[in-house]
Homo-oligomer: A and B are copies of this chain.
Amino acid sequence: MVHQQQLRFSTSGRGTFNIGPQVDEVISQSGIQQGMCQVFIHHTSASLILCENADPDVRTDLETFMKRLVPDGDSMFIHQDEGPDDMPAHVRTVLTQNALSFPINNGRDTLGVWQGIYLWEHRTNPHKRKITVTVMGE
C-alpha cells in the first residue's frame, strides 16, 4: 500500500518550523500500520531535519552554528543573484536533508521522544514551501 499527500507551508523567513503534527496527520489518514514514511521537500534552499524538540535554544544554536559555518555574503561565492543568503541557502540544504525517512509501527511514527520534524527555511525572506509525505507498508 502507498499513501501520498502534499503539504504546503508558508515560512516567515529563515528559521525552523515544526511540521510534525501535519506529517502525523498524513500517517494517520494512510491507515498503514507497519512500514516507512518519507518526508520530502521540493526545494534547494530549504531543508528538513530531525532535531531535539524540548529546548528551543537547540534550534537557535543550530542557526548560530550554520551562520558561522556558511556566512551570508561570503566573498568566495560567485552565485549571489538573489542576495547574500542565496548561495548559503543552497549549501545549508546540501549539508542537511532533502528527505527524512523513518519507520511506521502500530499506525504511528516511531520517532524518539526528543525527535521533532522541522522544516528549515534558509532564505531570509518568507517563502512558500511544498512537501510530499509518502507512507508505504501494510
Give chain B residues whose Cβ lies under 8 Å from the Cβ of A81.
55
The number of chain A residues with a CB under 8 A from chain B is 57
Chain B nearest CB from A31 CB (Å) reads: 14
Nearest B-chain residue to A53, judged by Cβ: B44
B62:A78 contact, CB within 8 angstroms: no
| Cα–Cα distance between A38 and B68 once the two chains are bound (Å) | 32
| 3 tightest Cβ-Cβ pairs between the two chains A and B | A42-B112, A57-B79, A57-B78
Q: Which residues of A contact B (CB under 8 A)?
A: 1-2, 4, 34-36, 38, 40, 42-45, 49-52, 55, 57-58, 60-62, 64-65, 68-70, 76-79, 81, 87, 90-91, 93-96, 98-103, 105, 110-112, 114-115, 130, 132, 134, 136-138
